[in-house]
Structure 1
Amino acid sequence: MWKTVLKRFLLMIPQLVILSLLVFILAKLMPGDPFSGQITPTTDPKQIEALRIKYGFYDPWYQQYWRWITNIFHGDFGTSYTFKLPVSTLLAQRVGNTFWLSLLCVTFLYALALPLGIFSGRYSGGKFDKAVTFYNFVTYAIPGFIFYLIMILVFGYTLHWFPASGSVDAGVTGFAYVISRLRHMLLPAICYAMIATTGTVQYLRNEIIDAKASDYVRTARSKGVPIDKVYTHHIFRNSLLPIAAFFGFTLTGLISGSVFMETIFGYPGMGKLFIEAIQSRDYSVLTTLIMIFGFMTLVGSLLSDIIMSIVDPRIRIE
């Protein structure tokens, strides 16, 4: 198994090289440059031109690419043209926020989706199942950003139960700091969990309904195995396989894909930084973030395979 894991990591190298080429070329094809936004009626064009020459914007593209990729291997992601800070410093400030928010989102997601899917599948056709089906229909139909804005309006500005933006209150320390961080993460995490349960609930519900009609379930019931034990030891475990297959993508996808959630909630994470980099044409930040997001996607694929081999003994990565 571990040999295959190593091979998969080695296979990531050419994939990341291809990704880096695409990212670099597409970034260069964007209109303008990082210094275009600094031009005002009083700006001396010679100063802007000097900056472009200083940062090598007129060098051949392959020289720029080689310089960029070499610096990355040395841990130098460049300097943000907008924030005037090393990109590594910016990432260090934001990655913790995104990680803890993503972890809380995944926790709430499965805490809500698993019970809904299990009981909906077990009592399919009943009132609870119909209520869950209606809930899935509503959450699937409503756009996420609309739902986020409504929740901010209701619970942030009207009821004042949760902060409407930010990641922590100013000037708090100690245990109050931890509570403040948690309060700022609760609303976006709850909102994400409510919207993102649809796929997990439907997968689990359908798997349980199919498993109830399986031969091994009928055999267990004919031997007098209690119905609760049939569900916990047979149906539930086999029905978790599709959920386990997507767990790695769910976790890493949240870390790399929380762009809209962080932007709408004003949460200073990597997703919000990504939007800010696009708006300001901050190439150093933009290219670094896309490379990180691409790497996380590849890691998610590998993580899902490993989880599948652990959950189902019949599946082994050979």
Structure 2
Amino acid sequence: MWKTILRRFLVMIPQLFVLSLLIFIMAKFMPGDPFTGLITPETDPSVIEELREKAGLNDPWYTQYYHWITNALKGDFGDSYTYKVAVSTLIGERALNTLWLSLLSVFLLYAIGIPLGVLAGRFQDTILDKIIVFYSFISYAIPTFVLALIFLFLFGYQFPIFPTSGTVDVKYDPGSMAYYWNKIYHMLLPAITYALLGTVGIIQYLRTEIIDSKSMDYVKTARSKGLPISKVYSKHIFRNSILPIAAFFGFTITGLLGGSIFIETIFGYPGMGQLFISSIQSRDYSVITTLVMLFGFLALLGSLLSDIIMSIVDPRIRIE
């Protein structure tokens, strides 16, 4: 397995190179540049042109790409034109916020989705099953930004239960227990919103697999031996039915780490998703290209993680 993992990482190198080239070229096709917003009727055009020349924006695109990729290999992704700090520092701060939100979202996602999927499959065609299926259809049909706006209005303003922006209140001292509880409190509403919309895949896959597994010969054999129905489900049906869910676990984690753009923007949560939107609006190319590269790497990493998780869950599967 370790040889395969190493080989997959080596294959990522040319994939990331091609991705970096495409990202850089597409960024250059965007209208304007980071200094376009500084232009006013009173601005001397020579000043803006001097800034562009100093930043190397007047160089040919391949020269700019060479400087950017060589510096990136050294860990230097340049400076943010908007925030006036190193891109690595800026993304590092936002990535930590996204990491905590992702962990809570994944926990709620599977804590809600797996029990509902099991109940729907076990009690097929009952009222409970129909309610769960109806919920999954509704959650699939509602766009993310619509539910986020509804929850923000209801639980942020109409019934102010949760905060509407930020990661923690300033009155708490960093490192204290109250500080961490307050951070969780700020993450609850966006995490619940994502979890409620993301459970549809888990519920449908798990329900279908459980229904199919109930008619398998190994289940009939276990029932004929007198095993309690609870053990049949926990030791036989559930273990085999969870495989499709495990296959998407890596993608789920890395996808969330990439930042949920709508969730973070609507709830004013300063993560990588919100940073990506603000960077596009301000044409902060150094931040945009670095974030898209990071998102691409996480997508490739998610594929590898899913294969590894599948091989752990099911010993019959080995990535060779």
TM-score of the alignment, normalized to the shorter chain, above 0.5:
yes
For 1:45, the equivalent position in structure 2 comes to 45
Which secondary structure does the structure 2 equivalent of 1:82 belong to?
A: coil
For 1:12, the equivalent position in structure 2 comes to 12
| Counterpart-to-counterpart distance in 1, 2:213 and 2:160 | 45
Asked whether the equivalents of residues 109 and 198 of structure 2 are also in contact (C-alpha less than 8 Å), the reply is yes
For 1:286, the equivalent position in structure 2 comes to 288
Code of the residue aligned with 1:60 in structure 2: it is P
Show the 5 A alignment for 1:105-120. 105-120=105-120
For 2:245, the equivalent position in structure 1 comes to 243
| Counterpart-to-counterpart distance in 2, 1:191 and 1:271 | 15
| Counterpart-to-counterpart distance in 1, 2:29 and 2:194 | 34
Give CA-to-partner distance per residue, 1:237-276, whole Å, 9 cap, x none.
0000000000000010011141111001000000000000
| Counterpart-to-counterpart distance in 2, 1:60 and 1:151 | 48
For 2:55, the equivalent position in structure 1 comes to 55
Give CA-to-partner distance per residue, 1:22-77, whole Å, 9 cap, x none.
00000001011111111111111111100111111121211111100000011101
| Counterpart-to-counterpart distance in 1, 2:41 and 2:18 | 41
For 1:188, the equivalent position in structure 2 comes to 190
Shift of 1:288: 0.3
Give CA-to-partner distance per residue, 1:104-133, whole Å, 9 cap, x none.
000000000000000110000011101101
Task: Give the count of matched residue pairs.
Answer: 318
| Counterpart-to-counterpart distance in 2, 1:304 and 1:257 | 19
For 2:235, the equivalent position in structure 1 comes to 233
Which secondary structure does the structure 1 equivalent of 2:248 belong to?
A: helix
Which secondary structure does the structure 1 equivalent of 2:286 belong to?
A: helix
Shift of 1:215: 1.3
| Counterpart-to-counterpart distance in 1, 2:177 and 2:243 | 39
Shift of 1:171: 2.9
| Counterpart-to-counterpart distance in 2, 1:45 and 1:240 | 62
| Counterpart-to-counterpart distance in 2, 1:306 and 1:69 | 30
Flag structure 2 segments of 5+ consecutive residues without an equivalent. Answer: none
| Counterpart-to-counterpart distance in 1, 2:84 and 2:255 | 29
CA RMSD of aligned residues (A): 0.8
For 1:83, the equivalent position in structure 2 comes to 83
Identity over the aligned pairs, expressed in percent? 65
| Counterpart-to-counterpart distance in 2, 1:116 and 1:257 | 26
Give the TM-score normalised by structure 1: 0.99
For 2:153, the equivalent position in structure 1 comes to 153
Code of the residue aligned with 2:240 in structure 1: it is N
2:298 aligns with one of 293, 296, 299: 296
Code of the residue aligned with 1:51 in structure 2: it is L
Asked whether the equivalents of residues 259 and 271 of structure 2 are also in contact (C-alpha less than 8 Å), the reply is no
| Counterpart-to-counterpart distance in 1, 2:189 and 2:264 | 11
2:71 equivalent to 1:102: no
Which secondary structure does the structure 2 equivalent of 1:272 belong to?
A: helix
Which secondary structure does the structure 1 equivalent of 2:296 belong to?
A: helix
| Counterpart-to-counterpart distance in 1, 2:309 and 2:130 | 32
| Counterpart-to-counterpart distance in 1, 2:31 and 2:153 | 36
